Amino acid sequence: MTILTLTKVDVGMMEDVGTSANQLIQLDSNGKIPAVDGSLVTGVVSGVSSASDPTISTNPSGGVGTKFTNTTSGEIYICTNATAGANVWINVGAGTGNVAPHSFPGSNYGFSYGGYNHPNAARTNQVDRTSFTTDGNSTDVGDMSIGRDTWSGHSNATYGYACGGYSPSTHNTIDRISFAAMGTMTDVGDLTSTRRGPAGVSSETYGYVCGGSPALNIIERFQMVATANTVDVGDLATAVNNSAGHSDIVNAYGYVSSGSPNTNVIQRFAMASSGNATDVGDLTVSWGERAGNSSLTHGYTTGKAETGTSSNAIDKFAFAATSNSTDIGDLPFQLHESCGCSSTTNGYTMGGGRQGQGGAYGQGSDHIFKFSMTSNGNGTDIGNLTTSIGYLGSNGSQH
C-alpha cells in the first residue's frame, strides 16, 4: 500500500491564498472571486459613463474598445479610433448618431471634375487635385465615368462625388472617387431626374443635391456610406439653378445661395431632419453661376454672371444668424461658373469662364485663386489647373 505524505512545503503552497502579491485567488463559499482593488486588474478595457454623449474630444484612457454610456439617454458608444481630440465613437445601442470628426472643410486637397471650354465645345473628364498645404499647380489624378460640366460636388472622409451635369445631354449619374486610391470614378447611383447646374451640400453621411436646370426647387439626398440613389427630402423656398451650395456642419444646416433666374436669396434647410428650405438673407448681388465655399462659421460666394458679364466679388455671410452677406474682397479677375473648394482656413476658386483678362465670355480659365476665410481680403493667384476649363460645378470636393 502506498502512503501519501504531505511535506511542509506542499501544505504551505496550498495555504498561500489571498489577494496579495504572489498569492493564489481562492473562490469563496459561494464560488465567487473575492473583492479586489480594481486597479489590480489589468488588460481589461474599462467603461466610461456621463450624463451626456461623448465628443471627439472625449479622450478615453482605455483607448480603442472603450465603452461609453450616456446615463441620461441610455445610448451606448464604443471608441473605434482613439486619436486625441479626434476620437471616433460608434453608437452601438438602439439609437443613432455616431460621434466623429468630419472632413468638411478639408485639410489636404480640393478636387474639381471635368468641365467645358468655350468655344472649343470640348467637355473633359479629368479629375484635378489641388493641394491645400502647398500653393502650386493641380495634378490630374483620375477621370470621370462620363466627362461632363455643371455638376454638383460632395465629399465625406473617404470619397468625392460629382452628381448630374451635361455632356452633351443631361445626366443623372452619381460618380464617386476614392481619396485613397484615386483613378477612374465609379457610377454608384442616380439622381431622381437628369439635370445640370445643381448646388452641392455635404453632411457627414449624406450628399444633398439642390435645385438645377430648369429652375427646380427639389432638395434630394443620397447616402455617402453606400452606393445608393437619391431620395427627394424637401423643397427650396425659391426654385433655382446654377446656385452655390454651403455646408454648415456645426449646426447641421445646408445653404443654397444665388442662382438663375437671377436671385440674391440665401436659403437654408436642416440636414438632420428632412424638410423644406427657408429664405434667411440676401447676397449683395442678384446673379447665379457663383462658386460656393464654407468655413465652420460662414458661407462664401465668388464671381457672378449675367448676360455676358462677370465679376470678381467675394461675398461672405454668417451661419450663426439669419443675415445678409457683405462684400469682403475681390479675386484677381472676373470669373463665372468656377469650382469652389474649402480648406480649414482658405477658400479656393478654380477655373471658370473668364472675362476682363483677354478672354471671351465663356472661355475657360486655368487659374487657381485662394482667399483667407480667417480674415477679410482679396484673393491671390497661387497656381493653375491642368487645363483651361469653365462651366464647372459651383462646389467641388475636399479631403
DSSP string, 76-137: EEEEEE--TT--EEEE-SSS---B-----SBSSEEEEEEEEETTTTEEEEEEEEEESSS-S-
At 273, the pLDDT band (50, 70, 90 cuts) reads: confident
Averaged pLDDT for residues 339-353: 94
Which pTM was predicted? Answer: 0.77
Give pLDDT tens digits for 57-115.
899 988 999 999 998 888 899 998 888 888 888 888 777 666 666 667 898 999 999 99
Q: Which three cell numbers stand for residue 138?
A: 493641380
Averaged pLDDT for residues 309-318: 83
Domains of the chain, earliest start first: 47-97 (no CATH), 109-398 (2.120.10.80)
Per-residue confidence (pLDDT) for residue 123, from 0 to 100? 87
The answer to whether 201 and 247 are in contact (CB under 8 A) is yes
At 236, the pLDDT band (50, 70, 90 cuts) reads: very high
Per-residue confidence (pLDDT) for residue 12, from 0 to 100? 47
At 349, the pLDDT band (50, 70, 90 cuts) reads: very high
Using alpha carbons, list the distances in angstroms from residue 90 to 54, 94, 175.
10, 12, 27
At 194, the pLDDT band (50, 70, 90 cuts) reads: very high
Q: What is the 3-state secondary structure (H, E, C) of 257-318?
A: ECCECCCCEEEEEECCCCCCCEEEEECCCCCECCEEEECCCEEEEECCEECCEEEEEEEEEE
pLDDT above 60 for 6? no
Give pLDDT tens digits for 178-190.
999 999 999 999 9
The mean pLDDT of the chain is: 87
Distance CA 17, CA 26 (A): 6
Q: Please list, in sequence order, all residues whose beta carbon lies within 8 angstroms of the beta carbon of residue 364, skipping any fewer than 6 positions away.
A: 115, 116, 117, 118, 351, 352, 353, 354, 387, 388, 389, 390, 391
Per-residue confidence (pLDDT) for residue 62, from 0 to 100? 87
CB atoms within 10 A of CB 51: 8
> C-alpha angle with apex 315: 286 to 323, nearest 5 degrees?
80
Q: For residues 254 and 117, which has the higher predicted lDDT (pLDDT)?
A: 254
Per-residue confidence (pLDDT) for residue 45, from 0 to 100? 57
Distance CA 200, CA 181 (A): 23
**Which strands sit side by side in the sheet containing 346-350, from one edge to the other?**
339-342, 346-350, 365-372, 380-389
Per-residue confidence (pLDDT) for residue 327, from 0 to 100? 92
pLDDT above 60 for 177? yes
Sign of CA dihedral 215, 218, 219, 221: negative
Q: Which three cell numbers stand for residue 195?
A: 439635370
pLDDT above 70 for 217? yes
Distance CA 168, CA 154 (A): 22
CB atoms within 10 A of CB 373: 23
Per-residue confidence (pLDDT) for residue 173, from 0 to 100? 96
Q: Which of 12-16, 27-31, 395-399 has the lowest mean pLDDT?
A: 12-16
Render the burial of 209-235: b for 16+ CB within 10 Å, e for the rest: bbbbbebbbbbbbbebeeeeebeebbb
Residue 47 DSSP symbol: P
Q: Give phi and psi for 12, each to the nearest 5.
A: -60, -40
Residue 356 DSSP symbol: S
Averaged pLDDT for residues 28-56: 77
> C-alpha angle with apex 178: 348 to 385, nearest 5 degrees?
35
Q: Please list, in sequence order, all residues whose beta carbon lies within 8 angstroms of the beta carbon of residue 375, skipping any fewer than 6 positions away.
A: none
The answer to whether 247 and 254 are in contact (CB under 8 A) is yes
Q: Which of 5-9, 97-101, 277-281, 303-307 has the lowest mean pLDDT?
A: 5-9
Residue 6 DSSP symbol: -
Per-residue confidence (pLDDT) for residue 276, from 0 to 100? 97
Cis amide prior to 60 (ω within 30 degrees): no
At 165, the pLDDT band (50, 70, 90 cuts) reads: very high
The answer to whether 16 and 24 are in contact (CB under 8 A) is yes
Residue 72 DSSP symbol: T
> Which percentage of the chain shows pLDDT scores above 70?
87
CB atoms within 10 A of CB 341: 31
Q: For residues 14 and 21, which has the higher predicted lDDT (pLDDT)?
A: 21
Averaged pLDDT for residues 134-161: 95
For residue 159, the surrounding DSSP H or E stretch is strand 159-163
Q: Which of 7-21, 136-150, 262-276, 293-307 has the lowest mean pLDDT?
A: 7-21
Averaged pLDDT for residues 197-210: 94
> What phi-psi label fits residue 13: left (phi over 0), alpha (psi between -120 and 50 degrees) or beta?
alpha
Distance CA 224, CA 10 (A): 67
